[in-house]
Amino acid sequence: MAVLKVIKAGDPILRQPTQPVTRITKRVSRLIEDMIETMYAVDGVGLAAPQVGVSKKIAVIDVGEGPIALINPKIIEGSGEDIDVEGCLSVPGKQAYVKRMATVKVQAFNEKGKPVQIEAEGLLARALQHEIDHLNGILFTDLVDEKDIFEGEE
Ligand code: NI
C-alpha cells in the first residue's frame, strides 16, 4: 500500500466528471487500498479518486466505524436538511457551514463488486454527499457564498 498525493483545488482533474468503473481490476483494488491508507495518513473522513488524480467513480469513507469503499455510488433517496461545518483535504485550511440533506440512501458497489445500499444520517450522510459531489467535479466551496468560507483546520 502507498500514501498518495492529495491534489488541491485549482487542478482541473477535480472539476472533471469521473468515469464509472466497469470491472474491479487489480488496479482498482490497489487504488482503493491506497486511498484508504492515504485517508488515514492525512486524517480525513473521506477521499474521492479525483483527489488522488484518478478520474473514476471511486470513494472511500471512514467516519469512525471502519472504512467503506464505494464504487459508482449514486444517491437514490434523500430527505431533510442539515447544516454543519465541512472541510476538504483538497481545500486545506478552509471550512464552511454547508447545507446538506439530513438523510440519504446511496446505492453503490463495494470493493468486491457486490451491490450495496447504505442508509445514512449525520456525519456519514454528509460524507457521502461530499464524496459523491467530488465524483461530479463539485467542491464544498461551490455550495456556499465565498464570504461564508472561513479559515479552519482541514
Ligand atoms: Ni473533499
Closest to 49 in 3D by CA, of 75, 30, 23: 30
Q: Find the 114 Cα to ligand 1 centroid distance in Å.
A: 25
Half-sphere exposure of 26 (CA within 13 A, CB side): 1
- pLDDT, one tens digit per residue, over 85-100 is 999 999 999 999 999 9
Cell of 67: 472504512
Among the options 77, 131, 151, 153, which is catalytic?
131
Q: What is the dihedral of CA 28, 32, 37, 43, to 10 degrees?
A: 140
Ligand 1 centre distance from Cα of residue 148 (Å): 17
What pLDDT is attached to residue 1? 80
pTM score of the predicted model: 0.97
Long-range contacts, 6-11 (Cβ 8 Å, 24+): 6/38, 6/42, 6/47, 6/51, 6/52, 6/89, 6/90, 7/50, 7/51, 7/52, 7/53, 7/90, 8/90, 8/91, 8/92, 9/88, 9/90, 9/91, 9/139, 9/141
Phi (first) and psi of residue 39, to 5 degrees = -55, -45
| Residue ranges of domains in the chain, CATH in brackets | 12-151 (3.90.45.10)
pLDDT tens per residue across span 4-44: 999 999 999 999 999 999 999 999 999 999 999 999 999 99
Distance (angstroms) between ligand 1 centre and the Cα of 139 equals 7
CA 56 to ligand 1 centroid distance, Å: 15
Residue 131: active-site member = yes
